[in-house]
Amino acid sequence: MPKKLLHSSFNQRIEFQTVSFVADDLTGDTVEKPVRLFECWCAPQRRTMSQQFQLTGLGLDDTLTVAIRHNDKVQEATLAKYKNETYEVVSISPDDTNNYMAYDYVVIRKKKGAGKRG
């Protein structure tokens, strides 16, 4: 049976984004521009030491996992803004059941070279 999440666990805001490529007005080069998809409440997930060791072996030790209420739009997301930092979406585990309380688990990693501007 899956873990039940309390409504009070959803206490952080997260914004999911995708990337659009636009021409830079000054140089004419194509640059990435984040485009907002949606914002929602999320529940950060804690890991056991065993889980952390397993993720270290897979090279995913620098990632965070958050749970959100099921939203089909999350499949389009490539970036996430969480606690004023920009993260890359590593993987998404959607819950496509028709359950009333369906949650998607999203694994994110801090984007290298990204500052707090996002």
* DSSP character at residue 8: G
Which pLDDT band, with edges at 50, 70 and 90, does 1 fall under?
very low
> 4-13, 23-32, 33-42, 45-54: lowest mean pLDDT where?
45-54
CA distance 101 to 64: 22
Residue 3 has pLDDT above 70, yes or no: no
High-pLDDT (> 70) share of the chain, %? 92
Q: What CATH number was assigned to the domain covering residues 7-110?
A: 2.40.10.270
> Which ranges of 4-79 does DSSP label H, i.e. alpha helix?
49-58
User: What's the pLDDT score for residue 27?
Assistant: 85
For the chain, domain boundaries: 7-110
User: What's the pLDDT score for residue 118?
Assistant: 46
Across the chain, the runs of DSSP E, i.e. the strands, are 12-23, 30-44, 63-69, 79-82, 85-93, 103-110
- The pLDDT tens digits of the residues spanning 50-106 come to 777 777 767 777 889 999 999 999 999 999 999 999 999 999 999 888 788 899 999
Please identify which residue in the block is written with the tokens 């993987």: 91
Residue 2 has pLDDT above 60, yes or no: no
Residue 15 has pLDDT above 90, yes or no: yes
Amino acid at 92: I
Please identify which residue in the block is written with the tokens 């929602």: 40
* DSSP character at residue 21: E
